[in-house]
Amino acid sequence: MKNSKITRKITQGMYVLTVKGGGCVVDAVARVGSRDDAPLISVAVAKANHSHQLLAENEKFALSVIGEQTDPEVIQVFGFNCSKDCDKLAKIETIEVEDVPVAKATLGYMILEKIDAIDMGTHTLYIGKLIEGDIFSDDEPMSYVYYQEHKDDLTRITTKRINPPGFVRPVAIFIMARQYLMIINVRSVDSVKSISRKKINY
């Protein structure tokens, strides 16, 4: 094959799939028809993904549209963690719609009632009937191509230092006084914890 990356030029978006218990990031989503005047939406989910098992156990699921300005943490949480190891839904703000968790920091959502599942080898193609939906933002939807072009920035995980409540970083104050070096360890500028003296030679 000359260049398999041609598949990245397929126009498709980026979505957060959520069900009770977790969710994941998916891109293979399409409108495939309608039933009873309701659109039918398909989504392919990898069998190796824990969300595949969760989706198999639930009759309804949500697809939330990721935008270009969506907080990258949404992608980091749902795309690079396993629902078996952490509670993804506790890390991102969600709302309940039709008894289904929905990622709030997105462009909007579709609540789908599962009507069929087709075995596609490594994936299962789930077909859902739209039963509810809403739009949160008019931001530009994120395409798969945009994701690939900005992947390094979108998936860069930053670490924040979080101190426990009441913690005050120790401060060391060095004071030169005549021939003594006075070392004062304080918990804050107002409370002195200890003072020690050490004679120094010049």
Residues 121 and 133 sit within 8 Å (Cβ to Cβ):
no
Are 129 and 192 contained in the same domain? Answer: no
Q: Which residues have CB under 8 Å from 200's CB, separation 6+?
A: 179, 180, 181
Task: For residue 16, give its domain range.
Answer: 4-154
Are 144 and 174 contained in the same domain? Answer: no
Residues 60 and 98 sit within 8 Å (Cβ to Cβ):
yes
159 is a domain residue: no
Are 145 and 187 contained in the same domain? Answer: no
Q: What is the spatial distance between Cα 30 and Cα 34, in angstroms, rounded to a whole number?
A: 12
Are 142 and 183 contained in the same domain? Answer: no
Rounded to 5 degrees, what are φ and ψ at 169? -60, 125
pLDDT at 157: 55
Residues 17 and 5 sit within 8 Å (Cβ to Cβ):
no
pLDDT at 159: 40
Q: Against a cut of 0.85, is the pTM above it?
A: no
Query: pLDDT tens digits for the chain (202 residues)?
Result: 777 677 667 778 999 999 999 999 999 999 998 887 889 999 999 999 999 999 999 999 999 999 999 998 998 888 887 777 788 888 889 999 999 999 999 999 999 999 999 999 999 999 999 999 999 999 999 998 888 888 888 777 544 444 455 544 444 333 334 444 444 444 444 444 444 444 434 3
Question: In the chain, how many domains are there?
Answer: 2
Are 24 and 57 contained in the same domain? Answer: yes
Are 104 and 129 contained in the same domain? Answer: yes
